[in-house]
Amino acid sequence: MKTIISFASLLLLSISNLNFEGVSTEADPQELIGMWKLDMTPHIPDDNQFAIMEIGKINDNTFKGIFYREGVKIQNGQLNSSTGRIYGALVSGDNSGSYNTSFYLEDGKLYGSTHAIERNFLSVWVATKEE
């Protein structure tokens, strides 16, 4: 019985110390504030299809701003950094329908995807922060 309790204690201690490989436990969502340039076709080096995302305000786990182009407001912007990496999700839309977007921050870049349900379209993108 002592062995089982010792093993269980060791297992719980190990689980509580787990960290996702290469992920900082010091994630600061405030790093997202600013203007981001989204490369909408990162797999095509010569292409110049860019969009923007501006995150202007973060309050707890929510954020506000614009997505894709000026005037398209971010709706229901949500953040989660419980794993030590910052993840975000938002809804945006224009005359062609709604867009569901998710992203994460890694090494100063955002890696994301945008899904347009009404257009049967999924875009994968990479964003760099404008200075």
pLDDT in tens, the chain (131 residues): 555 444 444 434 444 444 445 544 568 999 999 999 999 998 898 888 899 999 999 999 999 999 999 989 999 999 999 999 999 999 999 888 899 999 999 999 999 999 998 899 999 999 999 98
Q: Model-level pTM?
A: 0.78
HSE of 114 in the Cβ direction (CA atoms, 13 Å)? 24
CATH number of the domain where residue 79 is located: 2.40.128.120
In this structure, the strands spanning 50-59 and 34-39 are antiparallel
| Burial bucket for residue 18 (CB in 10 Å: 0-12, 13-18, 19+) | exposed
- Are 86 and 32 in contact by the 8 Å Cβ rule? The answer is yes
Structural domain includes residue 74: yes
- Structural domain of 61: 25-129
Domain total in the chain: 1
